[in-house]
Amino acid sequence: MNNVLMIVFSAQFFGPRETMTAAMYLVPFFVLVLPLKHYGSRAGGGK
């Protein structure tokens, strides 16, 4: 949530380069979290 707010803030007050830099920090987070979430639901029996 805070990363999305950082993107909105940088888009409002800074240029496109800073906004893209803030957005690129989200990519590794989702690359790691989404597979782990899927694995956790499979390993936990879908609880």
- Residue range 6-39, pLDDT digits in tens: 889 999 999 999 999 888 988 888 888 888 888 8
Q: What's at 18, amino acid-wise?
A: E
Residue 46, pLDDT > 60, answer no
What local confidence, expressed as pLDDT, does residue 47 receive? 56
Count of Cβ atoms closer than 10 Å to residue 22 Cβ: 19
Rounded CA gap, 32 and 17, in Å?
24
Q: Which two tokens stand for residue 41?
A: 């639901």
Q: How confident is the model at residue 40 (pLDDT cuts 50, 70, 90)?
A: confident
The residue segments making up the domain with residue 12 are 2-43
Q: What is the tally of structural domains in the chain?
A: 1
pTM (2 d.p.)? 0.57
* CA angle centred on 40, ends 2 and 22, rounded to 5°: 20
